[in-house]
Amino acid sequence: MTLVSTVTLSTETFQFEWTNIPQTGKDLLIVASARINTTGPTEAEVKPNGVQTNLSWRGLRGTGSAVASSNNTNYSNMSYAQIIPGTEATSNTFGNFQIYIPNYTSSAAKSMSFDGVGENNATAAQQGITAWLWNNTAAITSLAVLCAAGNMVVNSSASLYIIS
Amino acid sequence: MLAGNEAYSPTDFDLLQTTLLSTSTASVTFNSLNSYSAYKHLQIRMSTRGDTNWGGTTYLRMNSDTGTNYSRHHIGGYGSLVNGGNASATFIALPFTVADSAESASQAFGASVVDIYDFASTSNNTTVRSFGGTRRTPPDSSAGVEIRSGAWLNTTAVTSLTISGSSGLFLSGSRFSLYGIKG
């Protein structure tokens, strides 16, 4: 597993982005820690090659008191679990998640897996796993991970790794 | 490169410490984590079985803090039952450890992966994500598969991690491996 680069936010923004991803690996792994600057929690999204079309998902989440499953083709809530806490959550508390993308250079559709957790010293905090499909045969050469609401705060970070 | 030697390919995911129990033990601690400044995140991979006095809950604590300074949540599947839960607590709960009992398959161990991000941060509380589970024969409500989250509500850098049970001992053969992830 080889680190490509880490993005650590020094100003608030809505995404982590990597361009010119080396095409030398088999799989990609993103490891991220994030919190938003508005009332949350909110979901994580992915944008491969600069587009958010042909994305679909099926997910499982817990809210701290209940469990639910759903599926959709709407990219704006594709992590399903709202694992990025906001101003409603305990101060200085971040969610963490990872995204695994096997065969990112292949000419087949791209299946991805997501798992993540938020935290909050209260009843409500979410955890979840989600299966994603990007029904596109292009190799992934750029990738962005976004928050579905607000901006991510300073010290939010994400690292991209190649697995050979 | 010398002839006959394979090229060295460095990784950014490295084994830092492993504890393999040769006797039953109440707790395992990874110390001196401040020496791992080359790493941004930590991961524990553990294979555990408790003795007949096992209390059912596996604890994770940071820096020996036993105060009510943690929060935790989970989602779990237990055969025919799913549920979620939460608590403010004196520990972060990890997924199941197999308890040594008539219902447990002989030599079966629970398996868990525990991610601890930004462990050296002095501005963020420490959030932990874990995934794991166990199987019994037959399945019961104290076995299953879980995703757990937890936070240590303290912005101090994590310098030690202690894993224990609510009661009982980890049996010989239980293994705890700590990995560093560069970032």
Residue B6 confidence (pLDDT) = 66
Q: Which DSSP helix (H) or strand (E) runs through B73?
A: strand B70-77
Which residues from A are below 8 Å from B147, CB to CB? 62, 115, 117, 127-129
Decide: pTM greater than 0.90.
yes
Question: Alpha carbon B89 to chain centroid distance?
Answer: 17
Nearest residue in chain B measured CA to CA from A121: B71
Residue B108 confidence (pLDDT) = 81
The Cα-based distances of B156 to A154, B60, B89, B121 in angstroms read: 18, 16, 18, 7
More confident residue, B77 or A117: A117
Residue type, B182: K
Q: Which domain holds residue B90?
A: 13-181
CA distance B25 to chain A (A): 30
Express as a percent the part of chain A with pLDDT over 90.
98
Total domains in chain A come to 1
Q: Which domain holds residue A22?
A: 2-163
Does residue B149 belong to the interface with chain A, where contact is any CB pair within 8 Å?
yes
CA distance B69 to chain A (A): 9
Kindly report which listed range (A23-27, A41-45, A123-127, B75-79) carries the lowest average pLDDT score: B75-79
Per-residue pLDDT band for A74 (boundaries 50, 70, 90) equals confident
More confident residue, B9 or A56: A56
In a domain, B53, yes or no: yes
Residue B138 confidence (pLDDT) = 62
Q: Report, as an integer, the average pLDDT of A22-39.
A: 98
User: Cβ–Cβ of A92/B123 closer than 8 Å?
Assistant: yes
Residue B126 confidence (pLDDT) = 98
Q: Report, as an integer, the average pLDDT of A45-54.
A: 97
- Count of residues for chain A? 164
Decide: B169 and B24 in contact? Cβ < 8 Å: yes
In a domain, B120, yes or no: yes
Total domains in chain B come to 1
Residue A5 confidence (pLDDT) = 97
Decide: A149 and A40 in contact? Cβ < 8 Å: yes
In a domain, B5, yes or no: no
Name every residue whose Cβ is closer than 8 Å to that of residue A163 and which is 6 or more positions away in sequence. A1, A2, A25, A26, A27, A28, A29
List, for residues A90-105, the tens digit of each pLDDT value: 999 999 999 999 999 9
Q: Residue B6, Cβ neighbours under 10 Å: how many?
A: 6
Q: What CATH number corresponds to the domain at position A92?
A: 2.60.120
The tokens describing B50, both together, are 């408790």
CA distance B18 to chain A (A): 20
In this complex, how many residue pairs, one in chain A and one in chain B, have their CB atoms less than 8 Å apart?
123
Burial of B28 per CB tally in 10 Å (0-12, 13-18, 19+)? buried
In a domain, B3, yes or no: no
In a domain, B121, yes or no: yes
In a domain, B80, yes or no: yes
List, for residues B13-39, the tens digit of each pLDDT value: 999 999 999 999 999 999 999 999 999
User: Cβ–Cβ of A119/B155 closer than 8 Å?
Assistant: no
| pLDDT tens for each residue of chain B, 183 residues long | 456 666 666 689 999 999 999 999 999 999 999 999 999 999 999 999 888 888 888 999 999 999 999 999 999 998 888 999 999 899 999 998 777 766 667 778 889 999 999 999 999 999 999 999 887 666 566 678 999 999 999 999 999 999 999 999 999 999 999 999 999
- Alpha carbon distance A152, A41 (integer Å): 11
ipTM of the complex: 0.95
List, for residues A128-164, the tens digit of each pLDDT value: 999 999 999 999 999 999 999 999 999 999 999 999 9
